[in-house]
Structure 1
Amino acid sequence: MTVVAAALQANDGRWLMQQRPLAKQHGGLWEFPGGKVEHGENPRDALVRELQEEIALALHPGDLKPVGFAENGGRDSHPGIVILLYSATRWQGEAIAQEAAELGWFDRSEMAELPKPPLDVALLQFLAG
């Protein structure tokens, strides 16, 4: 399964993270906002769609820069996951938690301290400290 995520950096240098709903897998952990790429969908277009749906932000696909990726091989009945991380510093709107339990803006050291799913821990290494 391919997932896309955004490292959105505000003018003050802080990054946006979202807290997963408690009822979902990895509930209560913090992650980069994003979601699944649908069949036949371009990853950048998928991320633009997911950010609009999840946090009410409008982005242009050309403003998303590829940063890195993290993956796991899957196990048992769970498919493997690849998360493609993109960064952006330009968007329209104000972030609103439409699906997440909470949103927060954090500096790099604060992000390192947040409890995160393993793949988001891996993605964090791609952001400059």
Structure 2
Amino acid sequence: MVCPWLENGSVSKYLDCCNDLLSLSQRLQLLSEVCCGLSYLHSFSMIYGDLTGSNILLDHQGNACLCDFGVSSVMAEFQGTSCFTSNIGGAVRWAAIELYRVQPDGFERTVSIMSDIYSFGSVMLEVGANL
């Protein structure tokens, strides 16, 4: 797989160094692009499973690009097998809390469209902070 170089890096790193350069409208545009990307994936019943500010890259024009589909593709293929000790992938800070609750039957919950939306809310907080 070949991916283009996105010189602005991740949203998280960009916000660390250039937070003051992003206007409210640019932040909303960025979030809209992430939302469109998630919607596109969900329309094919694909779950991202690891949405964080570090997995959203910015191109030279500030457009958002989702990256690091490792968790989504691997989880979809091997979920429910012995390949994983946990169905929870990704960063704790952005993950839906219900993913960490063990069910009465002992099974862990798996990532879902709803957990992707929760993670998107965490990204919204990160992008919207320090306006």
TM over 0.5: no
TM-score (norm 2): 0.24
Q: Which has the higher strand share?
A: 1
Q: Which has the higher helix share?
A: 2
**Computing the radius of gyration over CA atoms, which structure comes out larger, 1 or 2?**
2
TM-score (norm 1): 0.24
